[in-house]
Amino acid sequence: MINQKKPLIDSFLSEIQYALGAIYDNSVPKGINKDDIELNNEQAVKSTRIMRINHMGEVCAQALYRGQAAFTKDKKTKDQLYKMCDEENEHLKLCNLRLSELNGKKSILNPLWYAASFSLGAIAGLKEGKWKLGFIEETEKQVKNHLEESITSLPKEDSRSKLFLEEIAKDEEKHRNTVKEIGSTEIPELVKNTMNTLSKVMKNITYHV
Ligand SMILES: [Fe+2]
Ligand SMILES: [Fe+2]
């Protein structure tokens, strides 16, 4: 259960602190060249909506991993989840940067999406004996498919968002391979379909708010 060496209240508070950081932190990656893409209003609105969904995806990925890491008993899995979570945080910064360049807003529902994803991650952590890292593998697979969809939906003029998403997609593929190497079991079809449906609902809502 959560971190055995830390009192439960400390673990709880550090999870709250992490969640607030993931949801509200506006930090951006360092050393990235300035935006020199000119988009018209319609293109910028479309790109903003797509990047808002991807930002929400990175918030949720961190929540899933933190949820699973909090409840897993396996030290190796826990360490790997925190490491992958750090990379998701770098993706989040890229999305923060692009959204600010587009003058776009993040989803106002991110706290809700974070809580839902953390709970799902916690269930995956508790089910770990049976599923191993299958839940994460399926998540990364669905994220990769979603990124490919996003890249093709972007206005063709927005090569900068495309580049950012392509960079993120490379890491997601790497994450999927890492969990396969550690050992993952195929999760039930019903769980896969539920994840897919849930993410569709979240994406449809986040497209607008
Ligand atoms: Fe990511
Ligand atoms: Fe990932």
The per-residue pLDDT of the chain, averaged, comes to 92
pLDDT digit string (tens) for 134-184?
A: 888 999 999 999 999 999 999 999 999 999 999 999 999 999 998 888 888
d(CA 48, CA 68): 30
Tens-place pLDDT, residues 99-123: 999 999 999 999 999 999 999 999 9
Question: What is the reported pTM?
Answer: 0.92
CA of 12 relative to ligand 2 center, distance in Å: 24
CA distance 105 to 60: 17
pLDDT at residue 44 greater than cutoff 70:
yes
148 C-alpha to center of ligand 2: Å? Answer: 14
Distance from Cα 58 to the centre of ligand 1, integer Å: 5
Task: Reply yes or no on whether the pLDDT at 54 is more than 80.
Answer: yes
Ligand nearest to the CA of 141: 2
Q: Would you say residue 3 has pLDDT above 70?
A: no
Q: What are the distances in angstroms from CA 141 to CA 55, 148, 208?
A: 17, 11, 25
CA of 22 to the centre of ligand 1 (A): 12
Task: Give the Cβ contact number of residue 106 at 10 Å.
Answer: 20
Distance from Cα 88 to the centre of ligand 2, integer Å: 6
Q: How far is the CA of 172 from the centre of ligand 1 (A)?
A: 6
Residue 5: pLDDT band (50, 70, 90) is low
Ligand 2 centroid – CA 171 distance (Å): 6
Residue owning tokens 């360049």: 101
Q: Which two tokens stand for residue 54?
A: 């991807």
- How many whole angstroms separate alpha carbon 138 and alpha carbon 135? 5
Q: What are the structural domains of the chain? A: 40-208 (1.20.1260.10)
Ligand number nearest to the C-alpha of 90? 1
Judge contact between 51 and 104, C-beta under 8 A.
yes
Helix (H, G, I), strand (E, B) or coil at 130: helix
